Amino acid sequence: MLENLSRSGSICKERKELTFRVQMILCQSGAGYRIHEIQAGSHRGNLSVMGLQIHLVYDPQGWCCVSIITFVWLYNTLFVPKLILYPHYEEEHIPAALIVLYYLVSLCCVTSLVRASIADPGQLPQNPELSYSERQHWETCNKCNKLRPKRSHHCSRCGHCVRKMDHHCPWINNCVGEDNHWLFLLLCFYTEFLSFLTLVFNFCQYYYLQPLTKVKEELFVFRHELAMLRISTLMGIVMFGGMFGLFYGQLSNVLADTTTIERMSSCFDETLKPSKPWQQTFSEVFGTRWKILWFIPFRQRQPLRVSYNLANHV
Active site residues: 169
| Alpha helices for 37-180 (secondary structure H) | 60-80, 86-90, 96-118, 132-135
- For the four alpha carbons of 70, 71, 76 and 79, in that order, the dihedral sign comes to positive
Q: Angle of helix 96-118 relative to helix 181-207, nearest 10 degrees?
A: 150
Q: How far is CA 133 from CA 57, 130, 314, in A?
A: 34, 8, 15
Length of the chain: 314
Q: State how far the Cα of 27 lies from the Cα of 10, in Å rounded to an integer.
A: 36
At 235, is the secondary structure helix, strand, or coil?
A: helix
Burial category of 138 from C-beta neighbours within 10 Å (exposed 0-12, middle 13-18, buried 19 and up)? middle
